[in-house]
Amino acid sequence: MEHLRIALQKSGRLHEDSIRLLKDCGIDMNLSQRLKSSALNFPLEIFFLRDDDIPQYLEENIIDLGIVGENLILEKERKLKIKEKLGFGRCRLSIAVPKNSDYQTIEDLSEKCIATSYPNILKKFLDKQQIQADIHTISGAVEIAPGIGLSDAICDLVSSGGTLFINGLREIETILKSEALLVASQNIKFPRKSLAERLYFRIQAVKRARNNKYVMLNVSNKYLENILNFLSGEKSPTVLPLADPNWTAVHAVIEEKNLWNSIERLKAYGAQDLLVLPIKKMIP
Ligand code: PRP
Ligand code: ZN
């Protein structure tokens, strides 16, 4: 049987969250294999690769899908399709300098040397700002370059800031913001194409679930109208009688990003006994 092939970052910022996403999609896998693992309950092969190599493998149809940072997609400029923003792996590509140096702005880096694994993005940025600087491309451990005298500054990814801190560096400019993307090869063939569609469907159900919460509340009937007006969706909310005939229970799905504002409004409208529950999957 033909298997769909997906590549995940083998170690680093996206590794854990990528595996968690597949698990939430119901994919069981054996994680003891280091380079390649087969899902136990879906025709899927999981490759663990350097994230930097994933765009090229997709373009060359060696794999069908990949989870990588937007930063790499912009840098590598490969022919591939972006399917989904995944909402994790948020980070920024920044220029940083030794913390005790005099450099304050990118103008101060004119005629200086900047080490990076992102030469394309950096060059475009510097050209736009009309700054002439020497770009020194290295493939890893960029953060040690200033310390060993290889460069005056770096341009690298920052997420927690821990790597910069440990290496005595400070950010002076953010070039772009990034998050993990699900990307696909441009030309996935049947029957892998239909397996990919099945996986997209599951990923969307998981993403929707992660972005929403299930809220249950009780309200005195005299305030019910307010609550229903506030929560009104196409078919929802769910309205249920309580043991006390003067009271009603209302259940609704609320977007995570508005959750606390919505709760404050619901309280103000007369809601009581609120419960907020996570949703596992949300399927339209
Ligand atoms: C990036 C970057 C830094 C680290 C920054 O590596 O190169 O090493 O993350 O994260 P922090 O601010 O939380 O310390 P990435 O995960 O892309 O791995 P790679 O550079 O080895 O491919
Ligand atoms: Zn990388």
**245-268: per-residue pLDDT in tens?**
999 999 999 999 999 999 999 999
Q: Which of 25-39, 141-155, 164-178, 196-210 has the lowest mean pLDDT?
A: 25-39
What local confidence, expressed as pLDDT, does residue 58 receive?
96
pLDDT higher than threshold 80 for residue 33 = no
Q: Count of H helices and E strands in the chain?
A: 8, 15
**57-97: per-residue pLDDT in tens?**
999 999 999 999 999 999 999 999 999 999 999 999 999 99
pLDDT category, 212, cuts 50, 70, 90? very high
Span from the CA of 52 to the centroid of ligand 2 (angstroms): 5
Residues 104/153, Cβ–Cβ less than 8 Å: no
Q: H or E element: which one contains 54?
A: helix 54-59
| Euclidean distance between CA atoms 281 and 272, whole angstroms | 26
pLDDT higher than threshold 90 for residue 233 = no
Span from the CA of 17 to the centroid of ligand 1 (angstroms): 14
Are 4-88+180-209 and 91-178 equal in CATH topology?
yes
The atom number, within ligand 1, closest to the CA of 163 reads 14
pLDDT category, 31, cuts 50, 70, 90? confident
Span from the CA of 112 to the centroid of ligand 2 (angstroms): 24
| Euclidean distance between CA atoms 66 and 56, whole angstroms | 11
| Euclidean distance between CA atoms 13 and 174, whole angstroms | 19
What local confidence, expressed as pLDDT, does residue 1 receive?
80
State whether residue 207 is helix, strand or coil: helix
- What average pLDDT does this structure show over 119-138? 97
Which two three-digit tokens encode residue 136? 């020194």
| Euclidean distance between CA atoms 74 and 52, whole angstroms | 11
| Euclidean distance between CA atoms 217 and 61, whole angstroms | 50
Bridge partners of 277, per DSSP, are 214
| Euclidean distance between CA atoms 114 and 105, whole angstroms | 13
CB of 161 within 6 A of ligand 1: the answer is yes
pLDDT higher than threshold 90 for residue 230 = yes
Measured from the Cβ of residue 150, the count of other Cβ atoms closer than 10 Å reads: 14
Among all bound ligands, the one having the nearest atom to the CA of 178 is 1
For ligand 1, atom 18, name the residue with the nearest CA: 12
CB of 139 within 6 A of ligand 1: the answer is no
Bridge partners of 247, per DSSP, are 220
- What average pLDDT does this structure show over 186-192? 92
Bridge partners of 116, per DSSP, are 137, 155
CATH code assigned to 4-88+180-209:
3.40.190.10
Residue scoring higher pLDDT (169 or 33): 169
Which two three-digit tokens encode residue 275? 């419960």
Top CATH class of 212-278 equals alpha beta
| Euclidean distance between CA atoms 55 and 185, whole angstroms | 9
**40-50: per-residue pLDDT in tens?**
999 999 999 99
- Every domain of the chain and the residues it spans: 4-88+180-209, 91-178, 212-278
Among all bound ligands, the one having the nearest atom to the CA of 17 is 1
Span from the CA of 128 to the centroid of ligand 2 (angstroms): 25
Q: Is 114 exposed, middle or buried (0-12, 13-18, 19+ CB in 10 A)?
A: buried
pLDDT higher than threshold 90 for residue 109 = yes
What local confidence, expressed as pLDDT, does residue 76 receive?
95
Q: Is 189 exposed, middle or buried (0-12, 13-18, 19+ CB in 10 A)?
A: exposed
Residues 80/59, Cβ–Cβ less than 8 Å: yes
Span from the CA of 102 to the centroid of ligand 2 (angstroms): 29
- CATH second-level architecture of 91-178? 3-Layer(aba) Sandwich (3.40)
Alpha helices in 152-248 (DSSP H): 162-166, 192-210, 221-231
Measured from the Cβ of residue 140, the count of other Cβ atoms closer than 10 Å reads: 9
pLDDT higher than threshold 90 for residue 111 = yes
Among all bound ligands, the one having the nearest atom to the CA of 142 is 1
